[in-house]
Structure 1
Amino acid sequence: MSALLALEFVSTLRMRRSGLADALADAAGMTAWGREHATALGVDPDSFTATETLRAEVVELRQAVRALFARAVSPGPASTADADLLPAFRPSLELVNATAMAVPVTPRLDWPADDVPVVHVVPAVPAGESERIRAALAASAMELLAGPYREKLRTCPAPRCVLYFVKEHPRQEWCSVTCGNRARAARHYRQHSGSR
């Protein structure tokens, strides 16, 4: 499981020129995002189709993970996308834990006749698609928050950006080059607009 899947998950909320955009705003969006992350979520990229119920459950989990991310970057500011709408910390932590525990996993050894053995992590008990998807997302968030990435987790300070990112080098201030350029342009504008 990749801890960085959790970053991609919370980044389904983005700021566009038209305002806040939610990649999981409807079942079609959830289907597209699920297919894009099929391997990590354990779904078939060709046949996965999200229901409205699955989408709503995933969005509820995303808000809980975003609440945990907000706590992780504290005392810095949380993402402006939904800082005032996030659920409380304790219920968010309980939801993430319960979601991950709903599908216990175990390693399984596969050994093709003409290849090397490979270990796959699979559900230890039968579980529905929604439970498997949400458990994978919760486990990814847990891995990020309990590992070395937590100390490097930041909120992008660029104007209109609502993303969290992992600071990969000491001088990194923004989530992307685009946000860095936007922040520098806004600073330049502020410095020069007052002198006229």
Structure 2
Amino acid sequence: MAAHPLALDLALTIRHDGRGGVADDLQHPDGLAAWIREHADALDAVPGAARSAADGDTLAAVRDLRAAVRALFARAVPGDPSPADARRLLPVDTALRRLNAAAAAAPAVPHLAWPDGADPVAGWRPVGPASASVREALCAALAQDAIAFLAGPDRSRLRACHAPRCVRYFLKEHPRQEWCKPACGNRARVARHHQRHHA
């Protein structure tokens, strides 16, 4: 199971590449297939999802959904979104329509699994016979997770990292946390130091 909510892990497939640019882990179908395999437990209601990821249409649909999720994350965070991300965000109404349409494409209901010796795990199961394509089922599962996250209590902990060039979102773990990871904190301090001494 992923350490983060699935929707956050999807948003984090766009990140700072460490060289001043942005990396996209879902640039190619094999990247999506690898991401799905890493999140197999969370996506167990979508059999065949990793195989379907080799399809360019599935990749495009997931990337479109990711754009909607990132736009809604930008709306959810206190203050402004990351300056490095702001120019690429969808309008909120477009993002909402896209997210809701994906969630409705394969109706599902909550499902609880409780393996022996483990904590209970909530997931989603399709309603009725599986009539949706694997692509629709995958996007629906991702959209339903994003809706649950955005309407849930963890949304209040969601933050955009404001380190130079960072486009990541993170869940604030403690009151003084300002960046998604220590490297971003170091980069932000260096940038402030440079700005002060060259002003």
For the superposition of Structure 1 and Structure 2, which TM-score range results when normalised by the shorter chain? 0.7 to 0.9
- The residue aligned with 1:13 is 14
1:116-148 per-position Cα deviation (integer Å, ceiling 9, x unaligned):
999864211303211121111111211121111
User: RMSD of the alignment, in Å?
Assistant: 3.1
CA distance in 2, matches of 1:178, 1:68: 25
Aligned residues: 192
1:160 to 157, 160, 165: 165
Opposite residue 106 of structure 2, the aligned amino acid is V
Q: Structure 1 residue 188: deviation in Å?
A: 2.5
1:84-121 per-position Cα deviation (integer Å, ceiling 9, x unaligned):
23222112112111211222223568899x99999864
Alignment map for 1:68-107 (pairs within 5 Å): 68-73=72-77, 76-106=79-109
Instruction: Choose 30-39 or 115-124, whichever is displaced more.
Output: 115-124
| Gap runs ≥5 in structure 1 | none
Q: Secondary structure at the match of 1:149?
A: helix
Q: Structure 1 residue 191: deviation in Å?
A: 3.0
**Aligned pair 1:52/2:56, yes or no?**
yes
In percent, how many aligned pairs have the same letter? 51
Instruction: Choose 76-85 or 101-110, whichever is displaced more.
Output: 101-110
* CA distance 1:100–1:77, change in 2 (3 Å): same
2:42 to 13, 37, 40: 40
* CA distance 1:77–1:46, change in 2 (3 Å): closer
* CA distance 1:45–1:84, change in 2 (3 Å): same
* CA distance 1:189–1:100, change in 2 (3 Å): same
Radius of gyration: which is bigger?
Answer: 1
**Aligned pair 1:26/2:28, yes or no?**
yes
CA distance in 2, matches of 1:85, 1:110: 38
Q: Structure 1 residue 49: deviation in Å?
A: 4.8
2:196 to 186, 191, 194: 191
